[in-house]
Amino acid sequence: MGRPFPWILCVYVLLLSSSAGRCRAGITSSYRRKLAWSVDLPVDDPHLKAPEGYNAPQQVHIHQGDYEGRAVIISWVTQDEPGDGKVYYGQVQGGENSTFVTGQTYTYSFYNYTSGFLHHAVITGLEFSTKYFYTLGSGNVTREFWFTTPPESKLDTAYTFGVIGDLGQTADSLATLEHYMNGSGQALLFVGDLSYADVYPYHDNNRWDTWCRLIEPSAAYQPWIWTAGNHELDFLPEFGETIPFKPYTHRFHVPFRASNSTSPMWYSIKRGPATIIVLSSYSAFGKYTPQYVWLEAALKVVDRTVTPWLIVLIHAPLYNTHAGHYYEGEPMRVIFEPFFVQYKVDIIFAGHVHAYERTYPVSNVNYNIEDGQCTPAVNVSAPVYVVVGDGGNIEGLSSPSTRPQANYSAFREESFGHGVFEIQNYTHALFSWHRNQDGVQVAADSAVILNQFFS
C-alpha cells in the first residue's frame, strides 16, 4: 500500500500538478549541502564486517526471479567452503520450513583477487502479496531473512519504489541507505554505479565484498532491481582483465531470459502496477543491435491495462543540466527517445551525475540534422526524467550546474539523497526526493506524476 504523506506536502503537490504539462521557470536549489565529501568506510567498520562463524552466509541480496513477480533470486556468499547451497523457505518464521531449493555456485578471479563461493538460487511458484521467510547456512551460522512478493499486476494497484544511484560505501552512502530504510519503499530501483571498487588499485574486489555486506540490511529483504553503470565495467586489460562487467555479472543475477533478453545488461520485469525496463548505457544500442531490437519488442508487449505504469532505468541520463557528465547521454537519447515518446513511458530514472534533477515531460524528437529544431519542448507523451545519482559515493557531488537553467529542468540540487516513486492508482503517482540532511518525512522536491497512457 502507499504511504501517507503530510497534508502540507499534499497542498504542494496539488499546486505542482495543476501546472503539469507546461514548462515553468525551473528551480536551482539554494540549499547549501556540506562541501566536503567522505572517504570510504574502513573495512573493519561494523557495517562492512562479515558475520561471525565459520562459513556464515553473507552478502545476502535478492532480486525478482521472473517476469511476473512470482519468483525470487536469492544470492549470497560463503567464504570458507561451498556449503550445501540450499535455501529453505516458506511462510513459517523460525527456521521451521522444510521446502528448499539448491542454488548454483560460482567463483571468479580478478587479477590478484579470488572470490568466495557465490550462490544464486531461484525460488519459483510463489503467491502474490505474501510474506516468505528464508534461511541460509546451517548449525550455529544459520541466518533467517524474509521478503514480501509484489501484488498481482492489474490496473488499479498501489506500490512504492525507492530509487538510489551511485551509492558507494562512504559515511554518506550509509546515511542514504539508512534514510531509505526508514521510509516506505517496497522494492528498490538501483540506477547503476554500485560499489566503486574500481577506484582502488587493481579494482580491489574486496571492496565488492564490503559493499555487498553494507547493503544486506535492505537488499536481503526487498529486491534491488539492478542497472549497470560505468563503475561496473571493471575493464582492466593491462592486468589481463579483458571481459567487461565480470564482477557485476557474477555477483548480481537478474531474470533477463524471462523477458526474451539475450543479456543481463538489459531486461524487463513486471512488478505490481509497473513494467520496469532496464537498459545499458555501456552496451551497444544503435539500430539493429541486440539491445535496440530487444527494446522495441519489449515495449510492444507491455499491456498498460495490466501494468499502467511504464518505468525505464538507465545509468547515463538523457537530460541533465549539471556540468558533470554533460551530454554523455545524448547518443542514447537520439536512438531511444522516439520509442519512449511513442510508447508513452511515464518516468525515466538515471544516475551517473552525482546530484538530483527532475525535468518536465519533454522531448526533442523533432530534431534531425537538417531541420534545426533542436530545442527540447513540452510533450504530453514524453516521460519525466529524474537524475538520482546522489547516493553518496567517494567521488563526491557533481560540479555546479550549467546556467541559465534550461527550461526543461524543473528542479535541481547538488546534495546526497534518494527518491521515492509512490504509485497510488492507475492515473496518479507521487515522486519525492529526500536529501540526507532532512528527516524521513521531508521531501525536498516532489511532484505528482500523471500516467501518460491514461491522462
Q: Which residues are catalytic?
A: 325
Give the H or E element holding residue 341. helix 330-342
- The residue range among 5-13, 129-137, 188-196, 426-434 that interacts with Fe ion, by the rule CB under 5 A, is 188-196
- The residue range among 53-61, 130-138, 274-282, 350-358 that interacts with Fe ion, by the rule CB under 5 A, is 350-358
Among residues 33, 63, 333, 352, which is the contact residue for Fe ion, using CB under 5 A? 352
Backbone angles phi, psi at 172, to 5 degrees: -70, -40
Among residues 230, 307, 359, 364, which is the contact residue for Fe ion, using CB under 5 A? 230
Closer of 119 and 418 to Fe ion (Cβ): 418
Cell 499546486, located at residue: 15
- The residue range among 186-194, 217-225, 241-249, 288-296 that interacts with Fe ion, by the rule CB under 5 A, is 186-194
Question: Residue 454 CB: number of other CB atoms within 10 A?
Answer: 16
> Nearest approach, Cβ of 279 to Fe ion (angstroms)?
14
- The residue range among 78-86, 225-233, 268-276, 422-430 that interacts with Fe ion, by the rule CB under 5 A, is 225-233
Closer of 229 and 255 to Fe ion (Cβ): 229
- Assign residue 311 a region (left: φ > 0; alpha: ψ between -120 and 50; beta: otherwise): beta
> Nearest approach, Cβ of 230 to Fe ion (angstroms)?
4
Each residue of 275-300: b (16+ CB within 10 Å) or e? bbbbbbbbeebeeeeebbebbeebbe
Closer of 144 and 395 to Fe ion (Cβ): 395
Amino acid at 182: N
Closer of 191 and 365 to Fe ion (Cβ): 191
Which of 353, 424, 418, 406 is CA-nearest to residue 17? 424
Which of 11, 298, 9, 270 is CA-nearest to residue 157? 270
Closer of 188 and 316 to Fe ion (Cβ): 316
| 229 makes contact with Fe ion (CB under 5 A) | yes
361: cis peptide before it, omega within 30°?
A: no
Among residues 193, 198, 346, 357, which is the contact residue for Fe ion, using CB under 5 A? 193
User: How many chain residues interact with Fe ion (CB under 5 A)?
Assistant: 4
CB-nearest residue to Fe ion: 352
Q: What residues contact residue 209 under an 8 Å CB cut-off, 6+ apart?
A: 50, 58, 59, 77, 116
- The residue range among 1-9, 79-87, 140-148, 191-199 that interacts with Fe ion, by the rule CB under 5 A, is 191-199
Indicate the angle between helix axes 171-181 and 206-219, nearest 10 degrees. Answer: 20
> Nearest approach, Cβ of 328 to Fe ion (angstroms)?
9
383-442: contacts with Fe ion (CB under 5 A): none
DSSP 166: S
Closer of 137 and 229 to Fe ion (Cβ): 229
Which of 96, 223, 60 is CA-nearest to residue 147? 223
Q: Which residues bind Fe ion (CB under 5 A)?
A: 193, 229-230, 352
